[in-house]
């Protein structure tokens, strides 16, 4: 394990070029959409709606209508930990792209609709965004609102779920994509991490209030047991709970305490759980989490969080633009407390902008097809590909721990055993 003291890192110029179009010398690698008609080897290079020219021959794209991105942001109690910083980060990236010339020679437009964690409000917001003329939508983190958004948009425009790790929301046939890895991937990574540390017994805490809080413990259990680990129990909680003494007492009553406790819980509940474990003499249990620990800033819990280990989407490194982007966001006055969820929002904007540039169109169908075929597009967190992935990009899981009240880089991995 090495502690990562974040140095100054310059954002690659190709990152902005990929999102903004650039000139003929851009090194962005993208696969064009498959426009071959079945039974015909010819490729249709006709300009899609909203474009004056195409870039099929490498010439610069010039749009006759601006790319307009909407964000159906969950700024309510549950989703705000990702979508509050995400909505501000998206604005920073839009401004960055526009400062570099926009997309297709025109400034990118950006609008936010607050869905407040409500499915009905989500569907209304989706229709309002479409009525406002948005060409692509950034979606919320949880299935409870992500699914209604998908139903309401119904393929009229691509949806890039900025923070969601639910693979059920990824459906390229309906224009839906994740910007992140899936729950199966991050939970498998944490299970394999525990086994690699020699921690062979575990308990989980899960909630049926959303599939995120129940699915991750299930995936962890599957991989952990397949690797020879022993599960000692699963303990239920509700997102409304403010006390976990019952669950902690049950864990304390086990013949032997588990080596690890895995949960998809988020702050401030995580802090309460950590404090109650410590007060019960169970402070030696290693608490493992997923990206919700990152999104809700588990290290803000203070000393009780030291030793916690969790999955994250990214961390400032020499080979990505995360630190520079966060510095730019701070300079712009954006309130981005988390690491991953500002960067993922920047990625979402860049993915959409890269598709508009490659397709040389802001037509919804053209954007969907193009996103589904993107390969090695530079984004803030590194690169992203969608071709052949079913809408869930293959990405490393960054494992972090907490030391001295700060997140510290442990390793970046791709798990070997991923639940189907």
Q: Is residue 301 within 8 Å of residue 274, measured between CB atoms?
A: yes
For residues 351 and 384, is the Cβ–Cβ distance under 8 A?
yes
Sign of CA dihedral 229, 234, 238, 242: negative
Query: What's the CA gap between 339 and 330, in Å, rounded?
Result: 12
Q: Which helix (H) or strand (E) holds 409?
A: strand 406-413
H or E stretch at 92: helix 80-99
**DSSP H or E segment with residue 384:** strand 382-384
Half-sphere exposure of 297 (CA within 13 A, CB side): 14
Q: CB of 323 within 8 A of CB of 354?
A: no
DSSP letter, residue 58:
S
Is 109 in a helix, a strand, or coil?
strand
CB 308 within 8 A of CB 289: yes
CA distances, 96 to each of 91, 107, 303 (Å): 9, 10, 37
| Beta strand residue intervals within 44-108, DSSP E | 68-73
Read off the tokens for 383.
């690169």
- Which residue ranges form the domains of the chain, and what is each CATH number? 13-181+317-389 (3.40.50.2300), 183-312+398-413 (3.40.50.2300)
- Sign of the Cα torsion 382, 331, 411, 270 reads negative
Q: Structure tokens of 291?
A: 């990206």
Per-residue model confidence (pLDDT) at position 59: 61
What is the C-alpha separation between 160 and 178, in angstroms, rounded? 6
Residue 231: which H helix or E strand, with range?
strand 230-236
Helices (H), 137-182: 143-153
- DSSP alpha helix (H) spans, 235-288: 245-252, 269-279
Its pTM surpasses 0.85: no
What is the reported pLDDT for 58? Answer: 52
The set of residues, in sequence order, having a beta carbon less than 8 Å from that of 47 and lying 6+ positions away, is 53, 54, 360, 361
pLDDT value, residue 60: 86
Q: Residue 187, CB half-sphere, CA atoms under 13 Å: how many?
A: 30
DSSP letter at 282 equals -
User: In the 8-state DSSP scheme, what is residue 108?
Assistant: P
- The Cα–Cα gap between 94 and 352 comes to 11
Q: Mind listing the pLDDT tens digit of every residue in the chain (420 residues)? A: 333 333 222 233 233 434 333 333 333 333 333 333 333 333 333 333 333 333 444 568 999 999 999 999 999 877 888 888 899 999 999 999 999 999 999 999 999 999 999 999 999 999 999 999 999 999 999 889 999 999 999 999 999 999 999 999 999 999 999 999 999 999 999 999 999 999 999 999 999 998 999 999 999 999 999 999 999 999 999 999 999 999 999 999 999 999 999 999 999 999 999 999 999 999 999 999 999 999 889 999 999 999 999 999 999 988 899 999 999 999 999 888 778 889 999 999 999 999 999 999 999 999 999 999 999 999 999 999 999 999 999 889 999 999 999 999 999 999 999 998
In the numeric block, which tokens belong to residue 3?
């502690």
State the Rg of the chain over Cα.
22
Q: What are phi and psi of 353, to 5 degrees?
A: -65, -40
Integer CA distances (angstroms), 38 to 44, 82, 174, in order: 12, 42, 20
N- to C-terminal Cα separation, the chain: 30
Going from the C-alpha of 327 to that of each of 7, 93, 330, the distances in angstroms are 11, 12, 5
- Coil, helix or strand at residue 236: strand
Taking the C-alpha atoms of residue 343 and residue 366, their distance in angstroms, rounded to an integer, is 25
Q: How many residues does the chain have?
A: 420
Neighbour tally for 37: CB within 10 Å: 9
């Amino acid at each position: 394990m090495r502690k990562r003291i974040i140095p100054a890192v310059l954002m690659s110029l190709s990152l902005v070029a990929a999102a903004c179009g650039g000139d003929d010398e851009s090194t962005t690698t993208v696969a064009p959409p498959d426009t071959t008609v079945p039974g015909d080897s010819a490729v249709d290079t006709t300009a899609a709606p909203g474009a004056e020219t195409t870039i099929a021959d490498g010439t610069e794209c010039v749009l006759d209508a601006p790319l307009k991105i909407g964000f159906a942001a969950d700024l309510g109690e549950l989703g705000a930990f990702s979508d509050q910083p995400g909505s501000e980060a998206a604005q920073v990236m839009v401004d960055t792209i526009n400062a570099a010339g926009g997309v297709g020679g025109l400034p990118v437009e950006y609008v936010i609709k607050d869905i407040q964690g409500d499915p009905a409000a989500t569907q209304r917001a989706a229709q309002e965004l479409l009525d406002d003329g948005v060409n692509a939508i950034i979606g919320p983190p949880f299935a409870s609102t992500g699914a209604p958004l998908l139903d309401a948009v119904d393929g009229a425009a691509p949806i890039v779920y900025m923070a969601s790790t639910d693979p059920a929301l990824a459906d390229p046939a309906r224009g839906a994509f994740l910007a992140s890895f899936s729950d199966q991937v991050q939970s498998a990574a944490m299970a394999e991490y525990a086994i690699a540390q020699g921690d062979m017994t575990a308990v989980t805490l899960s909630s049926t209030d959303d599939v995120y809080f129940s699915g991750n413990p299930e995936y962890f259990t599957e991989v952990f047991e397949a690797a020879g680990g022993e599960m000692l129990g699963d303990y239920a909680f509700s997102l409304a709970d403010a006390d976990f003494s019952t669950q902690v007492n049950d864990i304390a009553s086990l013949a032997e305490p588990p080596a690890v406790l895995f949960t998809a819980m988020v702050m401030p509940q995580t802090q309460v759980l950590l404090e109650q474990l410590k007060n019960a003499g169970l402070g030696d249990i290693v608490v493992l989490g997923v990206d919700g620990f990152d999104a809700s800033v588990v290290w803000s819990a203070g000393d009780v969080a030291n030793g916690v280990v969790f999955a994250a989407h990214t961390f400032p490194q020499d080979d990505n633009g995360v630190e520079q982007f966060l510095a730019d966001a701070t300079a712009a006055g954006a309130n981005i407390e988390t690491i991953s969820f500002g960067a993922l929002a920047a990625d979402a904007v860049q993915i959409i902008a890269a598709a508009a540039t490659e397709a040389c169109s802001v037509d919804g169908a053209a954007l969907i097809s193009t996103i589904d075929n993107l390969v090695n597009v530079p984004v803030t967190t590194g690169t992203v590909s969608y071709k052949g992935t079913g809408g869930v990009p293959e990405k490393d899981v960054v494992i972090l721990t907490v030391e001295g009240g700060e997140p510290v880089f442990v390793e970046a991995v791709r798990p070997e055993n991923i639940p189907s």
